[in-house]
Amino acid sequence: MLNDCINGLNECVDVLVIGAGPSGCVSASYLHQQGLKVKVLEKTTFPRLVVGESLIPRVMDHFDEAGLLPALDKMNFEKKFGARFIRGNQVCHFDFSKKFSDGWDWTWQVPRADFDHTLAQEVIKKGVDLEFNSEVTAVEFTGTNSKTTIKDASGKEKTIHSKFIIDSSGFGRVLPRLLDLDTPSGLDPHSSIFSHVVDVNRPDGVEGTLISFDILETEVWLWVIPFSNGKTSVGVVAPTEFIEKLSENGDTTQALQNAISQSDYYKKRFGGLPFLFPPIKLSNYSRSVKKMYGAGFALTGNSSEFLDPVFSSGVAFATESGMLAAKLAIKQLNGEQVNWETAYEGYMRKGIAVFTTYVKEWYTGNLQNLFFHQPENPDVKRKICAVLAGYVWDQNNPFVTKHDKIIKNMAYLIDMEAKEKAKA
């Protein structure tokens, strides 16, 4: 490999990044800043439609460190200062400026086609070699070095040699497929249907810009994500069996319209509006892997683990893992010993475990009852807000360190309180 690279017979790089979404762009931009030769492979052409339009504040740290924040800021995406949860006539609003942990107080809600395109173009402007319409068909490892076979849009094949691979391929899950790393998720199967509308009935002021999660049933909820371009993303999430019945005969348009009609809060605003594209169904979207790294590679973002869209954690975990994988890869390439089990997988699993608990307790109804309990406990709300903002590694926050017990315990106390009131 080395001789062929020296003689110009092969394309050779320090790090090969698979996927040009947020995780891949953060990795590539940071690696390039540190002087490494990076190549990014992207199977599709940008802009392209993708889900994951609601961000959380933790991502801002990563875009900033990767030097991508100024380009994103120029796009005037809708700013997101919190999130609203609705259940019938009950409303719970989280304000990111009133959170327990230090960190960003706002982020964006974005049409991902425009957002990801902006990231990719900025990475290219910085000098990173980003190749679209290139599909990885095979990978062969020799120790930590690798030979990757790719096929372009015309069907022509070539190979790329690299010293490390960061797989940020998202739901494409390139290395998990090629290396048999997939494993079932520990979450119950859920699916979603979503589309965009021109928000002609959007209210003036803050109300029209609020991202909201409207609970139709305990395990069924509607998302509403307004964009600064006058469009809004609307989607329904439910157990897969529910979604299959809702979209029987493959009619996702009628399914999403039916879900909107069940929302007392939003049916007047969105009912009857034409969808800008046929609603897309994502089935059994939760994913996991046997391991998140190996000799010469790391899996980041959705290529490793995807939980659930209810708390918008997807892009945050993608950029967190993308940045961390890049930093550790640099150390390894510099000859330092890297304990990937502890420094990468162990670290990421801790954050994933926190959000997994919150997702599970959302669908049991325990977390929903805690959200809507009156009177509110400001201290509890601040600590939960920090989790929802993505600061799930803050060891000073008991709603992080005791996540596996604290929500259940508080939900139990709320239930006991309700029973006592009923007796009185």
Instruction: Report phi then psi at 295, rounded to 5.
Output: -65, 110
By CB neighbour count within 10 A (0-12 exposed, 13-18 middle, 19+ buried), where does 48 fall?
A: middle
The reported pLDDT for the residue numbered 89 is 94
CA distances for 150 relative to 47, 62, 126, 131, 295, angstroms: 21, 29, 24, 11, 20
The reported pLDDT for the residue numbered 2 is 47
If DSSP codes are grouped into helix, strand and coil, which group holds residue 251?
coil
Helices (H), 365-402: 366-372, 378-388, 398-401
The Cα diameter of the chain in Å comes to 86
Show the 3-state SS of 97-132: HHCCCCCCCCEEECCHHHHHHHHHHHHHHCCCEEEC
CA 255/CA 253 separation, integer angstroms: 5
CA 87/CA 89 separation, integer angstroms: 6
CA 329/CA 167 separation, integer angstroms: 12
The reported pLDDT for the residue numbered 184 is 79
| Residues 286 and 306: beta-carbon distance below 8 Å | yes
The reported pLDDT for the residue numbered 3 is 52
The reported pLDDT for the residue numbered 305 is 61
Question: Which two tokens mark 171?
Answer: 């739901």
Under-50 pLDDT residues of the chain = 1-2, 6-8
The reported pLDDT for the residue numbered 331 is 98
Q: What is the pLDDT of residues 181-193, one digit of tens each?
A: 988 777 778 889 9
Name the pTM for this structure: 0.94
Question: Which two tokens mark 237?
Answer: 């999430």
